[in-house]
Structure 1
Amino acid sequence: MKQQWVLPAPAYAHYVCYPEFLGHYSDFPQHAERRSEGMLNSYNLHLVFDGSGYVFQEGERIPMSKGSGFLYPKGAYQQYGSDPSQPWEVCWVHFNTALSLPLLEEADQSRGYFFTFDLNAGLASRFEEMYRLSAAYETRSEPRLSAVLYEILVTLLQNSEPLHGSVPLEIRHSIRRTADLIHQECERPWTLESMSRLAGYSSYHFLRLFRSIMGKTPNRYLSDCRLARAKLLLVSTELPVEQIALQTGFHQSSYFIKVFKLAEGLPPSQYRRSFSS
């Protein structure tokens, strides 16, 4: 199967990202590309959902199998292809963007970013939506095409790892599951030690992993979750501030008021007056 679509330049010139050329190949053993430096003036993303293939980078042949992918920046030399004996199934897109994302920066700096990704992260369904929109293209579909591409890039940012990365995907999932439980039960008297035990790591290792994966320390994340719940209770209930403090894990209302004012720039009572309906 060989499906591909070329989209016209969007009528609106200010999308943060937009697909230009995209496709879906399977059972296509002839798929192989070799582009010289400067030939392709857009980013080139390929995700392998089955089968196998390869990329060449600085003379090294890098295998690409199910759950692998690659991202080339604008103007980079590119050489890749399917394994003829076990053709890959790939979803791919050429696109332009003004975004500043770590995976784009990595591709720009190294002239090619090669990674593994989580096959259960919903990327296939997002590509399928882009295909449907492209096959029945209308100008009113442009905002959604841009939005789906953005979703793909951010999903990859959160669910991919360099081929030789130091944090495997299963560890990332473990930390995110722990973060979700902390969010759901933010009123509990969490400590770094209790959060670490929940994740199954030492406190030192958990702190390092959590900060790397979530972009903040566990205690900062916990405080953000508590404040988010407190803001919801302030605007949607008539509970007194003291009770809201208790229900969100702040066991002293004076400390809750201090933390809230530091984060929001105004005390809880004024926040309630400003934002409750």
Structure 2
Amino acid sequence: MKKQWVLPAPAYAHYVCYPEFLGHYNHFPQHAERRSEGVLNSYNLHLVFEGTGYVFQEGERIPMGRGSGFLFPRGAYQQYGSDPRRPWEVRWVHFNTAISLPLLEEADQSRGYFFTFDPDAGLESIFDELFELSAVHETRSEPRFSALLYEILVTLLQNSEPLHGSVPLEIRHSIRRTADMIHKDCQRPWTLESMSRLAGYSSYHFLRLFRSIMGKTPNRYLSDCRLARAKLLLVSSDLSVAQIADQTGFHQSSYFIKVFKLAEGMPPSQYRRTFGS
């Protein structure tokens, strides 16, 4: 099976990202590409969902199987293809973007980003919607094309790691599950030790992993969760500031007011007057 679509340039020229050429190959053993440097002036993303194939990086042949992928930057030399004996099922997209994401920066700096990803992270369904829209292209679908591509990139950002990455996906998922539980029960009197126990790591190891994966310390994340809940209660309830402080884990209203003002640039009472209905 070989399906591919070329999209016309969008009528609106300022989308943060937009697909140009995309496809889905399955049971296509002849699939092989070799492009000289400077030929393709767009990013080239390939994700392998079944079967096997290969990609070359600086003369080294790198095997690609289920849950692996690669991203070439604009203008890079490219060589890759399917294993004729076990042809890969690959979903791919050529695109341009003005945004800066770590995986794009890695591809730009290294002339190629090679990674593993979670095949169960929902990427297939996102690609399938892209394919359905491409098959019956309509100008009104342009915002959705851009949104779906952005969703693919951010999903990969959260569910992939370099082929020789230092933080395996299982650990990333474990830290994110812990973050979700902290968010759900942010009113609890969490400490670094109690959060670490929940994740099953020492405090030192948990702090390092959490900061690497979530982009902030556990205590900063906890404070952000509490502030988000407090803002919702301020605009949607008649609870007093002291009651909101207690229900969001701050407990002391003076400390809550201090933290809130530092984060929002105004005290809770003013926030309520400004944004409350």
TM-score by length of 1: 0.99
Q: Matches of 1:237 and 1:198 in 2, distance apart?
A: 31
Q: Which residue of 2 aligns with 1:133?
A: 133
Per the TM alignment, residue 183 of structure 1 is displaced from its structure 2 partner at its CA by 0.2
Q: Which residue of 2 aligns with 1:76?
A: 76
Q: Which residue of 1 aligns with 2:60?
A: 60
Runs of 4+ in 1 over 6 A off after TM superposition: none
Q: Which residue of 1 aligns with 2:47?
A: 47
| Residue identity in the other structure for 2:118 | D
The 5-angstrom pairing of residues 1-277 of structure 1 reads: 1-277=1-277
| Residue identity in the other structure for 1:106 | E
Q: Matches of 1:10 and 1:273 in 2, distance apart?
A: 42
| Residue identity in the other structure for 1:270 | Q
Q: Matches of 2:169 and 2:49 in 1, distance apart?
A: 16
Per the TM alignment, residue 249 of structure 1 is displaced from its structure 2 partner at its CA by 0.4
After superposition, the C-alpha distances for 1:144-193 in whole angstroms (9 at most, x for unaligned) are 00110011011111111000000000000000000000000000000000
Q: Matches of 1:37 and 1:12 in 2, distance apart?
A: 29
| Residue identity in the other structure for 1:184 | K
Q: Matches of 2:130 and 2:51 in 1, distance apart?
A: 22
Per the TM alignment, residue 270 of structure 1 is displaced from its structure 2 partner at its CA by 1.0
Structure 2 gaps, min length 5: none
Partner secondary structure for residue 10 of structure 1: coil
Aligned-residue identity in percent: 86
Q: Matches of 1:30 and 1:225 in 2, distance apart?
A: 51
| Residue identity in the other structure for 2:80 | Y
What is the number of residues matched between the two proteins? 277
RMSD (Å), alpha carbons: 0.6
Structure 1 gaps, min length 5: none
Partner secondary structure for residue 87 of structure 1: coil
Per the TM alignment, residue 78 of structure 1 is displaced from its structure 2 partner at its CA by 0.4
TM-score by length of 2: 0.99
Q: Matches of 1:10 and 1:243 in 2, distance apart?
A: 51
Partner secondary structure for residue 56 of structure 1: strand
Q: Matches of 1:120 and 1:216 in 2, distance apart?
A: 26
Q: Matches of 2:167 and 2:59 in 1, distance apart?
A: 26
Q: Matches of 2:270 and 2:143 in 1, distance apart?
A: 38
Per the TM alignment, residue 121 of structure 1 is displaced from its structure 2 partner at its CA by 1.1
Partner secondary structure for residue 76 of structure 2: coil
